[in-house]
Each structure stands twice: as C-alpha cells, then as structure tokens.
C-alpha cells in the first residue's frame, strides 16, 4: 500500500538527529513536526523569522503576529527566538540549519530539484526554496512518487525549471526511500506491501537496489 502523506512525514521524522535545527517546507514537510520521536530534541526554524516554532495554537489563541512561512498561525516554545529575514537566511545559507525538508515536483538522479515553476501556468515564486536548497547540509524531499497523471517525479533530468543543482540527498515518497548517490538513485527502503517492481516501473531513471533493501518500519 502506498503511504499516506502523514506516513511519509512519519518516515522522514525518523531521519531527525538529536540536538539539531530543522527547516520544514510547506505541505507534507510541515507534518513532520507531528511525528518527532520522544527521545529526539530538535528546534524547528521557519524562514519568516522564528526558531523554536511550536504547534498550531488552540482555538481563540491565534496571534496574527505569530505565523510560519506558510502564513499559518503558530505558537512559540520556551526558548524560542525571533529575528528578521536577513538573519533568518544567514542561518540557512550559512549552513547553521542541519536539515531542510522540502516538497518537490521533480527530482533528478543527480540531485537537481524542481519545485517552483511550471512554464505556461501561474508562477507564484520560489519563496525561500532556492536559498534553502543551495545551503542546507542535508536536503530531504517529501513527495508522491508520481504526479496526478501517473508520471514519475523521479527523472534522469528535470524537465521543469530547477530550484537548485545537485542538492537533494534523499527522497521519501509514498512508495520508497531513495538516496541520491554519485551513481544516481539508490532504492534503500520500500513501503510495506509495495513491490520492488512497482517502484522500478514508477521511476523514470536507473534505480540501483541497495544490498540491504528493507521494508519501512513506521
């Protein structure tokens, strides 16, 4: 069975390393915050200017002056800190953020990512994505394996305008966990009930199968 968005987020949460700073993008990445393992301490950064972002507020406690990069109302945790956008991107470009989780429309086997523009359609902009992908130490992409037309989002080369060059380290989809290596995509985990063959057929690029191929534990 293909994973739900929440299950993709849950699998990515297993990648969180103790005592690190993490930026979560809009969409599936935001859900990762709901699945942080109990023995892991991380601080979430939102590029509009907060480190130590907490959960969404209870009804009636919303503060228009406290939002995340998706413009959602949030709360702050004890020890949280606020800053301006230049300081925020100093944290990002300056490699102070350890992990960045982003959504994507396409990822290429060399780690190129496309997630900001579909030519001919309304272009909303890249927001902070181009800064995030050029600089974070570790970039994990959270996305469905194929698009709505059933086409693979994992490709030899991106066909959409790219957001960053050779930056993605790992992809977690509804079907698999795939690492980007110098030899391209490497399948390391399959979703429960999903066959290797199904993943190969859903991937529009060469796929190396890891010797220790596992089934995801969620």
Partner 1 sequence: MKSFNMINKTVASVDEAISGVKSNMVLMFGGFGLCGIAENCINALSKKNIESLTCISNNAGVDDFGLGLLLKKRQIKKMISSYVGENDEFERQMLSGELEVELIPQGTLAERCRAGGSGIPAFFTPAGYGTEVQTDKEVRVFNKKKYILEHALNADFSFVKAWKGDTLGNLIYKGTARNFNPLMAMAGKTTVAEVEYLVPAGELDLNQIHTPGIFVQRIFRGGVYEKRIENRTITKS
Q: In DSSP terms, which residues pair with 154 in a beta bridge? A: 107
What's the CA dihedral at 210, 115, 102, 87 to 10 degrees?
A: 140
Q: Which of 23, 45, 48, 100 is in the footprint of partner 1 by CB under 8 A?
A: 48
Q: In DSSP terms, which residues pair with 114 in a beta bridge? A: 106
Phi, psi of 63 (to 5 degrees): -125, 120
Interacting stretch for partner 1, rule CB under 8 A, among 62-70, 136-144, 146-154, 195-203? 62-70
Interacting stretch for partner 1, rule CB under 8 A, among 116-124, 170-178, 185-193, 197-205? 116-124
Q: How far is CA 70 from the centre of its chain?
A: 14
Tokens 């939002």 correspond to: 67
Both tokens of residue 103? 């959504």
Both tokens of residue 88? 């925020």
Q: In DSSP terms, which residues pair with 44 in a beta bridge? A: 22
Give the span between the Cα atoms of 44 and 85, in whole angstroms: 16
Active site residue 47: yes
Binding mask 150-179 for partner 1 (x = CB under 8 A): -----------xxxxx--------------
Minimum Å distance from CB 180 to partner 1? 16
Interacting stretch for partner 1, rule CB under 8 A, among 15-23, 81-89, 142-150, 193-201? 81-89
Q: Which of 7, 15, 43, 47 is catalytic?
A: 47
DSSP single-letter state for residue 107: E
184 belongs to the binding site for partner 1 (CB under 8 A): no
Question: Which residues are marked as active site?
Answer: 47
Query: What residue ranges bind partner 1 (CB under 8 A)?
Result: 46-50, 55-59, 61-74, 82-86, 88-89, 92-93, 112, 117, 122-131, 134-135, 161-165
């Amino acid at each position: 069975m293909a994973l739900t968005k929440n299950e993709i987020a849950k699998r990515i949460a297993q990648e969180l390393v103790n005592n690190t700073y993490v930026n979560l993008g809009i969409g599936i990445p935001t859900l990762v915050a709901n699945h942080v393992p109990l023995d892991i301490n991380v601080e979430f950064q939102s590029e509009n200017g907060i480190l130590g972002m907490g959960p969404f507020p209870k009804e009636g406690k919303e503060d228009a002056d406290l939002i995340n990069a998706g413009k959602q109302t949030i709360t702050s945790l004890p020890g949280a800190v606020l800053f301006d956008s230049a300081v925020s991107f100093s944290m990002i470009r300056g490699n102070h953020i350890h992990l960045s989780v982003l959504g994507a429309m396409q990822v290429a086997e060399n780690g190129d990512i496309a997630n900001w523009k579909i030519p001919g359609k309304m272009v909303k902009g890249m927001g902070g994505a181009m800064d995030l992908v050029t600089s974070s130490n570790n970039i994990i992409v959270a996305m469905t394996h194929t698009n709505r037309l059933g086409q693979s989002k994992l490709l030899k080369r991106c066909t959409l305008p790219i957001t960053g060059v050779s930056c993605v380290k790992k992809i977690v989809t509804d079907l698999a966990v795939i690492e980007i290596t110098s030899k391209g995509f490497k399948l390391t985990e399959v979703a429960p009930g999903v066959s290797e063959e199904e993943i190969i057929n859903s991937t529009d690029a060469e796929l190396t199968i890891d010797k220790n191929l596992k089934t995801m534990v969620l």
